[in-house]
Amino acid sequence: MELSEAYLERYSRHILLQDVGVEGQEKLAAAKVLIVGAGGLGAPVALYLAAAGVGTIGILDHDLVELSNLQRQVVHFTKDIGAPKVDSAREKMLAINPELIVKTYQDYLCAANIHEIIAGYDFVVDGVDNFPTKFLINDACVMAGIPFSHGGILRFDGQTMTVLPGQSACYRCVFRTPPPPDAVPTCSQAGVLGAIAGMLGTIQATEALKYITGVGDLLTDTLLSFNAKAMTFRRVAIKRQPDCPVCGAQPTITKLVDAEQSVCDLKR
Amino acid sequence: MNIRVNGETQVLEEGAVTVARLLDIQKVESPDMVSVQRNGDFVERANFGSTLLAENDEIEFLYFMGGGACKCQGDSLLSWN
Amino acid sequence: MNMPMVADATRNLRGVSCPMNLVYTKVELAKLHSGQILEVILDDGAPVNNVPGSALKEGHTIISQEQLADSAWAVLIRKK
């Protein structure tokens, strides 16, 4: 295939990288990545993956843009308040890179729909805000063999790990079950420094790009945490647990069920 | 007894210390929001009270952290002293 | 006397500045098989001072650099 001058110029800074080059850029163009959540984490992931030329990007979020989102969800602008987040994100992604395919899903992820939605994607980015869905993404991706990046942020802290199903520790190897709902205080008490979402989201986007191009070592079997107040980063080695209920030798979770009081139940 | 908690050396004066007691000593306010690893292995929550620590144990407290929009997440439980 | 090397492909990069001249060089190299030879014509100055070194760093071999009548350089690169 003859590459256009515009293509070569747009991606010149990737092509110049020895580890990426023309071949790596072609891999990005052929890749399909699903971003779950068009919020604080999904926003930078969406922008960077679009800019990087990931050919097909899916983005899923049920919500509409609210004024309180704009402090950190940099893919949404003031004019977008009231619009579906996925539409707002899609507009910006295509404004950066009109040649992408952006698929939008204005929906919640549930046991009933997750298999169908994630099928066909090469990599999934978890940028969701609730634990039942984080576990659902883990379980479904492990079952389907789709690599994914877990990400979480709170106040001045962030954590992330990359999971290669069947090869590296999964989220359940570290966090066996969602925390009890009564252990999680109401959201209004928590906050987050906006730029933390960018710090963590760009790490997740980098992992997606590394996975697609095969460059470097993924953040597997490692939980990376940071605290921005002290600006300390810490890597904790994680082992795949033989008794993990989903990726262990004898899995006890073999089909997906929605957790009690999942977001799906609450909002439907 | 010397152990390491989240990479920091801790000297425990008491003789027999369980994971549950360590959570108490470390003033972890919401143990439900913590996952514990002992020498690289996951410790079942049900075994916190019966798992005794040993000299030179490497303990990691790993905290649940929500994501994107921070809708359903409570106050930070992290102790990054 | 040595036979002059015959390039498998050639790309005129006169008037193409850094770093796009390297991008095009990499694109042409990507089309070749290992051991094949690419000739690129680079402007004098920064282009010829940078592109061959970058190709070398990526593991390719610089066979020759020859200045032409118009002061541009013909550079032969063997793909790694």
Report the pLDDT value the prediction gives residue A186, as an integer from 0 to 100: 42
Report the pLDDT value the prediction gives residue C17, as an integer from 0 to 100: 95
Q: For residue A76, list chain B residues with Cβ-Cβ distance below 8 A.
A: none
DSSP string of B5-61, one letter each residue: ETTEEEE--SSS-BHHHHHHHTT-S-GGGEEEEETTEE--GGGTTT-B--TT-EEEE
- Which one of A110, A170, A173, A187 is the catalytic residue? A187
Indicate which of B71, B77, B79 best probes the interface with A, i.e. most A CBs within 10 Å of its own CB.
Answer: B71
Indicate which of A177, A236, A239 best probes the interface with B, i.e. most B CBs within 10 Å of its own CB.
Answer: A236
| Contact assignment for B65 to A41 by CB distance below 8 Å | no
Report the pLDDT value the prediction gives residue A2, as an integer from 0 to 100: 78
Average per-residue pLDDT for chain B: 82
For residues A239 and B39, give the distance between their C-alpha atoms in angstroms, rounded to a whole number. Answer: 10
Report the pLDDT value the prediction gives residue B80, as an integer from 0 to 100: 29
Residue B29 CA neighbour count, 13 Å, CB half:
9
Indicate which of A68, A86, A129, A171 best probes the interface with B, i.e. most B CBs within 10 Å of its own CB.
Answer: A129
Q: Is the ipTM of this complex over 0.95?
A: no
DSSP string of A13-82, one letter each residue: HHHTSTTTHHHHHHHHHH-EEEEE-SSTTHHHHHHHHHHHT-SEEEEE--PBP-GGGTTT-TT--GGGTT
Report the pLDDT value the prediction gives residue A264, as an integer from 0 to 100: 53
What is the CATH code of the structural domain delimited by C9-78?
3.30.110.40
Query: What domains can be seen in chain A, in order of their start residue?
Result: 31-267 (3.40.50.720)
Q: Looking at CA atoms only, how far is residue B1 from chain A in angstroms?
A: 23
pLDDT band at residue B76 under the 50/70/90 scheme: very low
Residue carrying the six token digits 């492909």 = C9
Average per-residue pLDDT for chain C: 95
For residues C34 and C50, give the distance between their C-alpha atoms in angstroms, rounded to a whole number. Answer: 22
Q: Looking at CA atoms only, how far is residue A23 from chain C in angstroms?
A: 8
CA-based nearest residue to A153, from A199, A189, A184: A199
**Per-residue pLDDT for B81 more than 90?**
no
- Inform me whether the C-beta atom of residue B53 falls under 8 Å from chain A C-beta atoms: no
Report the pLDDT value the prediction gives residue A1, as an integer from 0 to 100: 63
Query: What domains can be seen in chain B, in order of their start residue?
Result: 2-63 (3.10.20.30)
User: In this predicted model, what pLDDT tens digit does every residue of A112-149 receive, in sequence order?
Assistant: 999 999 999 999 999 998 899 999 999 999 999 999 99
- Low-confidence stretches of chain A (pLDDT < 70) are 1, 183-189, 260-268
At A16, give phi and psi (nearest 5°): -65, -25
pTM for the full model? Answer: 0.90
Report the pLDDT value the prediction gives residue C3, as an integer from 0 to 100: 63
| Contact assignment for C23 to A21 by CB distance below 8 Å | no
For residues A132 and A47, give the distance between their C-alpha atoms in angstroms, rounded to a whole number. Answer: 26
Report the pLDDT value the prediction gives residue A78, as an integer from 0 to 100: 98
Query: Does A187 participate in catalysis according to the annotation?
Result: yes
Report the pLDDT value the prediction gives residue B73, as an integer from 0 to 100: 33
**Per-residue pLDDT for C73 more than 50?**
yes
| Contact assignment for A128 to B68 by CB distance below 8 Å | yes
Domain ranges of chain C: 9-78
Q: Looking at CA atoms only, how far is residue B4 from chain A in angstroms?
A: 13
| Contact assignment for A39 to B68 by CB distance below 8 Å | yes
**Per-residue pLDDT for B31 more than 90?**
no
Binding partners of C (≥3 Cβ pairs within 8 A) = A
Q: Chains B/C: 3 or more C-beta pairs closer than 8 A?
A: no
At B36, give phi and psi (nearest 5°): -115, 130
- Between CA A97 and CA A121, with CA A125 as vertex, the angle to 5 degrees is 75
For residues A137 and C63, give the distance between their C-alpha atoms in angstroms, rounded to a whole number. Answer: 53
| Contact assignment for A8 to C20 by CB distance below 8 Å | yes
| Contact assignment for C26 to A23 by CB distance below 8 Å | no
Residue carrying the six token digits 């050396």 = B9
Contacts of A12 (CB under 8 A, 6+ apart): C19, C20, C23
Q: Considering CB atoms only, which of A12, A21, A22 is closest to C20?
A: A12
CA-based nearest residue to C73, from C37, C50, C40: C40
pLDDT band at residue B75 under the 50/70/90 scheme: very low
Report the pLDDT value the prediction gives residue A260, as an integer from 0 to 100: 56
Q: Considering CB atoms only, which of B63, B68, B73 is closest to A41?
A: B68
| Contact assignment for A16 to C57 by CB distance below 8 Å | no
Q: Which residue of A has its CA nearest to B80?
A: A227
| Contact assignment for C26 to A21 by CB distance below 8 Å | yes
